[in-house]
Amino acid sequence: MNDLRDLYQEVILDHNKSPHNYREMAHPSRMALGHNPLCGDRLRLYVALEGDRIADVTFQGSGCAISKASASLMTDAVKGKTLAEAEALYGKFHDLLTGPPDVKVTGEGLGKLAVFSGVREFPARVKCATLAWHTLESAIKNVPEVAKTE
Amino acid sequence: MNVEKIREQFPILAQKVHGQRLVYLDNANTTQKPRAVIDADRKYYEETNANIHRGTHFLSEKATAEYEDARAKVARFLGARASREVVFTRGTTEAINLVAAGFAQSVLKEGDEILLTGLEHHSNIVPWQLACGRTGAKLVVVPITDSGEVPVEEFEKRLTPRTKIAAVSHVSNALGTINPVEEFIRLAHARSVPVLVDGAQAAPHLPIDVAALGCDFYAVSGHKMYGPTGIGALYGTEAWLEKLPPYQGGGDMISSVTFEKTTYNELPWKFEAGTANIAGGIGFGVAVDWLSAVGLPAVAAHEHTLLVRATEALSAIEGLRIVGTAPRKAAVVSFLLGDVHPHDIGTILDREGIAIRTGQHCAQPVMDHYGIGATARASFGVYNTEEEVNVLAAALKKVQEVFG
């Protein structure tokens, strides 16, 4: 059960139960849909931009605990950041999820996002944790089609 | 039927997963293989390997004989009148694509209708959509009820003079519903509409007799029948197989080729272009013989006991909802557990050594009917035990503990 506890940390379970920024946005600058056909997860992401800064970001949708908590923590993490800063953060987050299991992760610079370090022991769940980020990427790039995890 | 004796024949079941005894409940996805099938594969490559239907040497003749013998076994297993009514394919998906492509080329016209049910797997939807795209025909779908059934009268209502084929699943992969295909076939034939039955989920669990059913096509996958992956079969009546054009062109499917004109090979080879999955075909033959030796009626009875036991045990768990509650079901239990997403259920069960499938099961329209994104699905096979049902139920309680 230990690696399960690493995966389903309290913070993740809390954000799954009561996700932050979980609401529709009336007039978003950008909007994107995320879909993981393997699990049926669906996510709608709203972004309000002020220049190249993410003034507000919210989401709605259904998904597993990992994808929902990831979306929730992502919105907290990128709010107020510039697009370049958000992209850099995604890079770090991605490394956290996909790094070799024998290398210790520090989670440096990731803040609360470090709670997803347990995901690397569950390769099948990496896509759950990255769905919101993929969707953010397509919102930023204003890609019209649905963001997919594969 | 002695389940322990059967289990001993499946080497993979002896292993531990995450330190726990493997409980394999993903049989609707693919089944494990008995030693007889594994040995046949090795034996073929060690003693027989050569190309078939060409070559005059000893090994080629031996390989050809074994491959065609396997076809005869599959024909017998399905109740076909003759081996020439059985085309080897990569699986059910290719079998349906073969028929759909043939219909697009030589039967369907603009405004024609193809009748499907709301229970279909994507592989019995998308090939027909492709056929519609090529011809201007359209899909007509028989809706399902909340118990996951396709009412016969709803099927009948949608048979029109424009219906050119009905393509229906025998057993639903997502919910386990056994469709009244006998009724569908009777009603369709009364209007001269041919019927294709997707038998991928039925052939491993129920005795099949295509001649008695009277269907025009029946598609199966070897890997869901304790056989190898990459091999399956399309049964088609001789009349229809003669009528349909070849699916692919190439070697082995011809009798004579000049740059002006090609004469196609006779049935069933007309539909088998290129070098076949020879080892797979032979292994498939061994698998159906193995299933017949166990006995389909005994398999069906054993699995029904597991279905009843699993339905009881899972229904007793607070907050668990079974999706698909038709009175006639194969041993498939699709379910939701409170607010816990199926993917999370799957991960936690996996750590307990239990393999299930989670997601939309390649049947998104079924999920849409229930307004859900996914289910968790336990599907049982000949080697599963009541003890394993108990292990599943206990593990689901652990899921609830993790999620509080």
| Residue A144 in this model has a pLDDT that exceeds 70 | no
Q: B5: Cβ–Cβ under 8 A, 6 or more apart, which residues? A: none
């953010």: which residue's tokens?
A136
8 Å CB contact between B288 and B220:
no
Work out the average pLDDT over B310-337: 98
pLDDT for res B60: 95
CA distance B67 to B64: 5
Mean of all residue pLDDT scores within chain B: 97
| Residue B300 in this model has a pLDDT that exceeds 60 | yes
Percent of chain B topping pLDDT 70 = 100
pTM, to two decimals: 0.94
Number of domains in chain A: 1
Q: Say if the Cβ atoms of B373 and A39 lie within 8 Å.
A: yes
Residue B343: which of A1, A39, A42 has the nearest Cβ? A39
Whole domain around residue A93: which residue ranges?
2-148
The verdict on whether omega for the bond into residue B246 sits within 30 degrees of 0, i.e. cis, is no
CA distance B226 to B290: 9
Domains of chain B: 3-25+295-399 (3.90.1150.10), 38-293 (3.40.640.10)
Residue A122: which of B341, B347, B367 has the nearest Cβ? B347
Q: Which amino acid is located at B4 in the chain?
A: E
| Of A79-88, A114-123, B11-20, B120-129, minimum mean pLDDT range | A114-123
Mean of all residue pLDDT scores within chain A: 90
With cut-offs at 50, 70 and 90, classify the pLDDT of residue A109. Answer: confident
Asked about B362 being catalytic, the answer comes back as: yes
| Residue B139 in this model has a pLDDT that exceeds 80 | yes
User: CATH no. for residue A131?
Assistant: 3.90.1010.10
Work out the average pLDDT over B271-279: 96
| Nearest residue to A4 via CA among A72, A63, A66, A93 | A66
Q: How confident is the model over B26-43, as pLDDT tens digits?
A: 999 999 999 999 999 999
| Of B16-20, B55-59, B65-69, B148-152, minimum mean pLDDT range | B55-59
Q: Tell me if chain A has a CB within 8 Å of the CB of B403.
A: yes
Work out the average pLDDT over B95-102: 98
CA distance B194 to B106: 14
pLDDT for res B355: 98
With cut-offs at 50, 70 and 90, classify the pLDDT of residue A115. Answer: very high
| Nearest residue to B115 via CA among B85, B152, B78 | B152
B350 vs A142, B118, B224, B381, CA distance in Å? 38, 30, 21, 18
Please state whether beta strands B332-337 and B357-359 pair in parallel, antiparallel, or not at all (unpaired): unpaired
Q: Tell me if chain A has a CB within 8 Å of the CB of B365.
A: no
| Residue A145 in this model has a pLDDT that exceeds 70 | no
**Residues of chain A found within 8 Å of residue B404, distances taken between Cβ atoms:** 13
Please state whether beta strands B217-221 and B195-198 pair in parallel, antiparallel, or not at all (unpaired): parallel
